[in-house]
Structure 1
Amino acid sequence: MSDAAILCVDDEVTILKCLKEQLKRCFGNRYIYEVAQNAEEAWIVIDELISEEIKILIIVSDWLMPGIKGDEFLTQVHQRFPKIVTVMLTGQADEAAIERARREANLYACLHKPWTEAELQQVISTALD
């Protein structure tokens, strides 16, 4: 079993299912693929992975979610875990939010909905190199 994980955070179950399926097709069993429907759930998953000594490589987070926006969540992640690569997924993030995430969360990339599997694979592959 892998000791490295990719976490996807989105309030839409269909998006999470799609991301997980695409990641599995692209990278097979190399990684553990975790999902969370909001930032609160994501923190629980992050704490569980860390307690199991599983390294979180990348977090792909939606921007528009109830409770906390993706750029704020990724900034909090970056403050606690600066080595985790952050990727934002959005259908409607404004440029200011993307720029803020670049500055404050060390945002690696921003994928726009609808994305293609090739775009997802390229972003994740280059982030891991």
Structure 2
Amino acid sequence: MSESAILCVDDEVVILDSLKEQLKRKFGDRFIYEVAESADEAWEVIEELQQDEIQVIAIVSDWLMPGIKGDEFLIQIHQRFPQLITVMLTGQADEEAIERAKKQANLHACLHKPWTEQELTQIITSALD
């Protein structure tokens, strides 16, 4: 059983399914793959994983979500878990939001929709190295 998890956050289930499938194909059983349809749900998943002593090592979060923008969410994540790898997924984030996430959330990368499986797995691989 893996002790590390990758969490994907997006309000579109089809996006979450794609991310999870692509990560599984590349990394297999190295990680647990969790998904959340909102920032609130993501916090719940993180709490549950912590209770099970599973460390979230990376979060791939959409930028445009109901309730909170991805850059704000990733900044909150970084404040609480500074070692966590953050990746923002976006079809329409403005450059200011990306810059803010780089400065305040230690954003590892910004992945633009539509992405390729190779882009996704290269970003996660480089972050883990």
Name the TM-score, length of structure 1 as normaliser.
0.99
What is aligned with 1:103? 103
Q: CA deviation at 1:51?
A: 1.0
Paired with 1:17 and 1:31, the residues of 2 have a C-alpha distance of: 16
Report the 3-state secondary structure (helix = DSSP H, G, I; strand = E; otherwise coil) of the residue aligned with 2:33: strand
The letter of the residue matching 2:17 is: K
What is aligned with 1:14? 14
Paired with 2:49 and 2:109, the residues of 1 have a C-alpha distance of: 23
Matches within 5 A, 1:114-129: 114-129=114-129
Paired with 2:124 and 2:107, the residues of 1 have a C-alpha distance of: 13
Paired with 1:128 and 1:49, the residues of 2 have a C-alpha distance of: 19
The letter of the residue matching 2:65 is: M
Q: CA deviation at 1:31?
A: 0.2
CA deviations on 1:6-51 (whole Å, 9 max, x unpaired) are 0000000000000000000010010000000000000000001111
Report the 3-state secondary structure (helix = DSSP H, G, I; strand = E; otherwise coil) of the residue aligned with 1:93: coil
Query: What residue ranges of structure 1 are gaps of 5+ in the alignment?
Result: none
Which contiguous aligned blocks of 4+ residues in structure 1 show a shift greater than 4 angstroms?
none
**Root-mean-square deviation (CA), in Å?**
0.4
Indicate whether 1:28 and 2:28 are aligned.
yes
CA deviations on 1:61-87 (whole Å, 9 max, x unpaired) are 000000000000000000000010000
Report the 3-state secondary structure (helix = DSSP H, G, I; strand = E; otherwise coil) of the residue aligned with 2:68: coil
Number of aligned residue pairs: give it.
Answer: 129
The letter of the residue matching 1:50 is: Q
What is aligned with 1:53? 53
What is aligned with 1:40? 40
Report the 3-state secondary structure (helix = DSSP H, G, I; strand = E; otherwise coil) of the residue aligned with 2:79: helix
Query: What residue ranges of structure 2 are gaps of 5+ in the alignment?
Result: none
Paired with 2:30 and 2:12, the residues of 1 have a C-alpha distance of: 25
Paired with 2:106 and 2:76, the residues of 1 have a C-alpha distance of: 11
Paired with 2:91 and 2:100, the residues of 1 have a C-alpha distance of: 17
Name the TM-score, length of structure 2 as normaliser.
0.99
What is aligned with 2:63? 63
- State the percentage of identical aligned residues: 73
